[in-house]
């Protein structure tokens, strides 16, 4: 395990109503203890999942690539100041994947590869932008995550079909068995969060708690919808 725990010091948040300091699940002082190589953060839109993993990555000292036009949100930078991370070896290598910025990141990697073709080995041996968005993402995962480290994934399923999500699920299972990397994943995908031997942290109304797969709201909603989809239209 690279990242052992994160303490959210919500009781030290600055006063005011600015995001993310007004987000319910982040309030109070709480500790997320990671004891599996794959952990999922789940919850509704606006619950703070994506903001938190970006802030944790920053607190871990990882380099975070962002679109030049986007920059690092000041609120995320400030949130990281209110986190205490416990790393197994004091430092770690890794990165943050965001479906929102992947296309620009892929273009940057292809530019680098055009100058140094050897870099292609880290993302499948081919240009990422020459493929569909989903195919490029999977190629990146297959190559980049062979390298030991701590990896944060923000909604990786956004551009993936259900079949491609299964491919990613198998990749995560393979990497979990190898034990060379740790993944913290913010997701809405019941397919991904079904990974055996993983942890799930659910962002509720005013706290974050570890729960079982079948206890997640996502699983229950999909189960009930598949059993009787017409009832959701009444």
Q: Which of 7, 61, 2 is nearest to 36 (CA)?
A: 2
DSSP string, 169-203: HHHHHHHHHHTSEEEEEE---TTGGG-TT-EEEEE
Backbone angles phi, psi at 172, to 5 degrees: -60, -40
Residues, the chain, total?
Answer: 234
Residues paired with residue 4 on neighbouring β-strands, in sequence order: none
The two beta strands, 29-33 and 3-9, are antiparallel
Cβ contacts of residue 87 below 8 Å, gap of 6+?
A: 2, 3, 4, 60
Q: Which residues of the chain have pLDDT under 70?
A: 65-75, 103-110, 112, 118-133
Helices (H) and strands (E) in the chain, counts: 6, 9
Give pLDDT, residue 101: 74
- What's the rounded Cα separation, in Å, for the pair 126 and 145? 16
- What's the rounded Cα separation, in Å, for the pair 53 and 201? 12
Structural domains in the chain, CATH included, are: 3-103+146-233 (3.40.50.300)
pTM above 0.95, yes or no: no
Give burial (CB, 10 Å; 0-12/13-18/19+) of 228.
exposed
CB count in 10 Å sphere of residue 108: 16
pLDDT in tens, 133-175: 677 788 888 888 989 999 999 999 988 999 999 999 999 999 9
* DSSP 8-class letter at 86: E
């Amino acid at each position: 395990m690279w990242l052992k725990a994160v303490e959210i010091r919500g009781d030290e948040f600055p006063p005011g109503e600015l995001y993310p300091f007004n987000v319910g699940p982040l309030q109070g002082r709480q500790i997320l203890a990671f004891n599996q190589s794959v952990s999922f953060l789940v919850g509704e839109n606006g619950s703070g999942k994506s903001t938190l993993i970006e802030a944790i990555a920053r607190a871990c000292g990882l380099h975070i690539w962002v679109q030049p036009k986007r920059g690092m949100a000041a609120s995320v930078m400030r949130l990281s100041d209110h986190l205490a991370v416990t790393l197994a070896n004091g430092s770690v290598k890794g990165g943050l994947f965001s479906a929102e910025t992947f296309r620009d990141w892929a273009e940057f990697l292809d530019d680098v590869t055009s100058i140094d073709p050897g870099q292609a080995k880290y993302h499948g041996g081919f240009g990422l932008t020459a493929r569909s968005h989903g195919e490029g993402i999977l190629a990146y995962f297959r190559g980049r995550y062979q390298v030991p480290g701590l990896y944060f994934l923000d909604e990786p399923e956004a551009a993936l079909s259900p079949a491609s999500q299964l491919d990613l699920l198998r990749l995560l299972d393979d990497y979990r068995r190898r034990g060379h990397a740790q993944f913290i994943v913010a997701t809405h995908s019941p397919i991904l969060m079904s990974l055996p031997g993983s942890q799930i942290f659910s962002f509720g109304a005013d706290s974050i708690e570890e729960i079982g797969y079948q206890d997640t709201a996502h699983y229950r909603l999909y189960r009930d919808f598949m059993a009787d989809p017409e009832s959701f239209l009444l």
